[in-house]
Amino acid sequence: MRIRRHVNAPRNTTQMLLMLALPLICISAQAQQQFPQTYSLAEALQRLYQVSDAFSASAANVRGKQALSDASASLRLPEISLDARYLKFQKSLELPLGSLAPVATDYGISSPLQFSESDWRLRPSLNVVLPLYTGGKIPAAQAAAAGALRQADAERRQQAQILNTQLVQAYFGEQLAQKALAVRRDVRDGLTAHLADAQKLERAGLITKAQRLQATVARDTGEREYQKASNDRDSVVDTLAQLLHSDTPIQGTTPLFVISTPLDTLRTFRDAALLQHPQIARLRAVSDQAEQGVRVAQSEWKPQVFLFGQYDLRRRDALLTDSDWVVGIGLKYTFMSNKDRSRQVIASRSQQELAEASLREAENQITIATTRAWNDVETARRQFLLLESAITQAGENLRLQELSFREGQATSLDVIDARLTLGGALIDRAKAAYSYDIALAQLLEISGQSGLYDQYVRRADKVL
């Protein structure tokens, strides 16, 4: 009997090994999906700075402005240039002979003598110009370049603080979703256990069918709430992974926290905000640049004084009027310009007024925002502390209601309400901690102190 070979059978050892290894590869890939990467808040922030395109762009802007500021330092140095011209010229010259005319006539030479030359010449020269006085244009340009660097650095610091707050929201949002999912799971499991007790008591004739139906409806509601919490958790986990440019899920290890004692006074944070907020520093730098713009516009009305020098690099092609070398001092003053210099000064002053007004408005808005953020932190702190006692009472109430239900002294609805009340209090406490952490991040951002967030994390005495 002939045995038919299967067409898909491996033809060599390599194919067989690959087929054997394929399930292991799949298992490894599934394991990577099941075990997310863990990051503390500080580690996540460090990674965010490394992968954020916005932060990279702001850092590149700083490097560019630093290069321009360094370049402006050489504006007072001499400018040396090479000027090379290949030109065709024609020169005609008449030379009267004067008293020699009769003698020249005897030799057939007419007076005046006429010369004409037409030729191609190469005229290279080395030129040096050293500015002595520019009407304030050079120091204004240097100060403007320094102001642009300060502006770019302030924008980089502002971007870093914005990223810090965004990460705190996503990071602790994942923590809140995990806590909510755990609570919803406990509530569902508790309602499932309560339904089992209700079914036993119904069979024993100790409760009515209506009470058992109440337990069934509550269990189904708990299941739906759990599924919703699971989907919400998946969404925030994906958001955090996208923010950190990670292909695998990110799990935070820094828990939700609250500092039970009040923070520093509102005045302290207001003073810090006006002194350290990057937006204030940015607008001050913009105002400084606008002031230098006024100086540049005013310099157009002033003379310019400079030293100059020139050296002929090809004397054999020099014209009769060309010098071998020349040095001197020059003065340039523009009496009439095609630029409306008066209006340019007015426009520059308007820009300065705009920058100063924007700075004052920003100071006012930052003061308001600091007050709001400080109050949000204090509100969340007090709510968290109040919810701790509420959770203790809700837990004791659930224990008593379950005991009373088993003894026939409480209804199914009493147990359901008690369990839902405890679950709601636990979630509300997690939300209060989340609100505290976000408000603290916003307060530190608005006061220019986002870099101190990790210190507040270490100060926490209430941790979920």
Q: How confident is the model at residue 462 (pLDDT cuts 50, 70, 90)?
A: very high
Q: How far is 272 from 446, CA to CA, in rounded Å?
A: 9
Please, what's the largest Cα pairwise distance for the chain?
A: 159
Residue 201 confidence (pLDDT): 84
Residue 28 confidence (pLDDT): 44
Provide the token pair at 172: 């602790």
Residue 65 confidence (pLDDT): 94
Q: What's the CATH number of domain 37-75+134-300+340-463, 3.30.420.40, 1.10.287.3510, 1.10.340.70, 1.20.1600.10?
A: 1.20.1600.10
- Enter the DSSP assignment of 111: S
Residues 325/309, Cβ–Cβ less than 8 Å: yes
Q: How far is 166 from 162, CA to CA, in rounded Å?
A: 6
- pLDDT per residue over 55-73, tens digit each? 999 999 999 999 999 999 9
Contacts of residue 274, Cβ cutoff 8 Å, sequence gap at least 6: 280, 363, 366, 367
pLDDT(27) > 70? no
Q: State the average pLDDT over residues 184-198.
A: 88
- pLDDT per residue over 312-366, tens digit each? 888 877 776 778 889 999 999 988 888 888 898 999 999 999 999 999 999 999 9
- pLDDT per residue over 88-107, tens digit each? 878 777 777 777 767 667 66
Residue 148 confidence (pLDDT): 95
Cα within 13 Å of Cα(454), Cβ side: 9
Residues 278/392, Cβ–Cβ less than 8 Å: no
Lowest mean pLDDT among 66-80, 105-119, 253-267, 338-352: 105-119
pLDDT(29) > 70? no
Residue 228 confidence (pLDDT): 93
Average pLDDT across the chain, whole number: 86
The answer to whether the predicted template modeling score (pTM) of the entire model surpasses 0.85 is no
Q: Output 38 or 119, whichever has higher pLDDT.
A: 38
Residues 75/142, Cβ–Cβ less than 8 Å: yes
Q: How confident is the model at residue 119 (pLDDT cuts 50, 70, 90)?
A: confident
The domains of the chain are located at 37-75+134-300+340-463
